[in-house]
Amino acid sequence: GPLEEVSLPLYFGWFLLSSIQDKIKCTSMDFLKTLDTLEAFKKHLIDFSGKAEEVDLEQYFQPTGILHCTTKFCNYGKAEGAKEYAEKQAVKDFYGSIFDLSLSALFVTPRTFGARVSLTEEQLQLWPADADAEKQAESVPAAASMPLGSRAHVTLGCAENVEPVQTGVDLLEILTLQQEGQQGEQVEEMELGTLTYYGTGKWLLNLREPISAPACFSSFYG
């Protein structure tokens, strides 16, 4: 009946604890500020504005609310595999538990700004097994051949009129290029790590020291 249908959340995921949210927001804003000033970035501004005009990246990306890493988008039960996911033993066992997420990279595209999450074996138990999370992203054909959990990320901001679901698509695109052997153009050693340009507005900062982020596995109803 309708009651059962609404008992499934909009999505399951890890919700970053508030202390680390503030730290990540600071770090990520500092990164955008620095990126904005780099000559290499200015050279490719056209990817962002359609013109060679300056953009203020801090304004360009709108924050998208509480920082989290979605495991399964359920859409209140309407998404494929939602019920199966909610019934997984690991999902029941770990519901409400605190995990340490490892944020290993920051990435920026003309659409989204996000952090890559490198999942542990234990955390992968909470990733949808049939890679349907990857398939939900649809528009990246090569995604099917990527290791499970490749799409794991925290959305840090979206450009105007861009939905947060795009962040995972953008990350998969970058990882696909890497997997195909594209080295990208290493443009800068920054304090936080190595910055690489993958073309058409895709920037990835591999963090020298991954950010360890305590997060609670739970769900969001909205």
Site of interaction with ligand A2P (CB under 6 A): 10-11, 70, 73, 133, 136, 155, 163-165, 167-168
For the CB of residue 51, give the shortest distance to ligand A2P in the complex, in Å. Answer: 28
For the CB of residue 136, give the shortest distance to ligand A2P in the complex, in Å. Answer: 4
**CA atoms 103, 104, 106, 109: torsion sign:** negative
Q: Which of 147, 149, 151 is nearest to 165 (CA)?
A: 151
For the CB of residue 134, give the shortest distance to ligand A2P in the complex, in Å. Answer: 9
Task: Say which of 72, 111, 151, 153 is annotated catalytic.
Answer: 153
Question: Would you report the helix, strand and coil content of the chain in percent, each value rounded to 5?
Answer: 35, 30, 35
Cβ distance to ligand A2P smaller for residue 165 or 216: 165
Query: How far apart (Å, rounded) are the C-alpha atoms in residues 90 and 55?
Result: 44
How do 153-158 and 98-108 pair as beta strands? unpaired
Task: Say which of 11, 16, 28, 68 is annotated catalytic.
Answer: 68
Query: How far apart (Å, rounded) are the C-alpha atoms in residues 132 and 144?
Result: 9
Cβ distance to ligand A2P smaller for residue 186 or 221: 221
Cβ distance to ligand A2P smaller for residue 49 or 62: 62
68 noted as active-site residue: yes
Cβ distance to ligand A2P smaller for residue 167 or 196: 167
The DSSP output letter for 76 is G
Number of Cβ within a 10 Å radius of residue 178? 14
Using DSSP's 3-state secondary structure scheme, residue 157 falls into strand
For the CB of residue 52, give the shortest distance to ligand A2P in the complex, in Å. Answer: 30
Q: Which of 47, 36, 82 is nearest to 202 (CA)?
A: 47
List, by residue number, the catalytic residues: 68, 153
